[in-house]
Amino acid sequence: MSEEFKRISRDLVYEGTIIDYYKDTVQVPNGNVVKWDFIGHKGAAAVVPVTKDGKILMVRQYRNALDRYTLEIPAGGLNGADEPTKVAAGRELEEETGFRSENIEFLVSIYTTVAFCNEKIDIYLAKDLIESKQNLDEDEFINVEAYEPKELLEMIYAGKIQDSKTICGIMSFVQKYLK
């Protein structure tokens, strides 16, 4: 079916720090030509950090887009499109939580908003956490909190956790390791 759609052009409207905004011109299967928004993203990585006693480390931080604090798994953008996501996951784990791990394994990949953005997040599991030092960016203000997986599932189902990468990471971990 992809042959029925033909991109005629992709014009950069705005180049941002995290995303680039484009206006695409596309010919659709009935021959009409339409304009679609497209957000280009370099990609990201996230991590579900599990402590020796089975709790999951979460980060509470303010999110400007929602104008509120959220509870999330640690995550961040790639330093470049060619940076391995496993490396980025380990970096974000240490930066945001103050722990590192030499036991990081892949859980799942997600595309966050397929209608208009190509952001892909690879989500990892980190075990055997080693205490290190939190190293936040100058605009990050993060509190680290530990929760039982059951508590996090209850928060997901109650609508208290709505972040897609966090929901996918926790659900993947529970499904794979805590059946």
Instruction: Clarify whether residues 20 and 100 are in a common domain.
Output: no
* % of the chain with per-residue pLDDT over 70: 99
> pLDDT digits over 60-109, tens only?
999 999 999 999 999 999 998 899 999 999 999 999 999 999 999 999 99
Quick one: the chain helix, strand, coil %, rounded to 5? Answer: 20, 45, 35
Instruction: Clarify whether residues 62 and 15 are in a common domain.
Output: no
Question: What pTM was computed for the model?
Answer: 0.93
Query: Which of 78, 79, 80, 104 has its CA nearest to residue 90?
Result: 104
Name the domain count of the chain: 2
- CATH number of the domain encompassing residue 55: 3.90.79.10
What's the pLDDT score for residue 2? 52
Write out the catalytic residue numbers.
138
- The parent domain of residue 55 ranges over 42-177
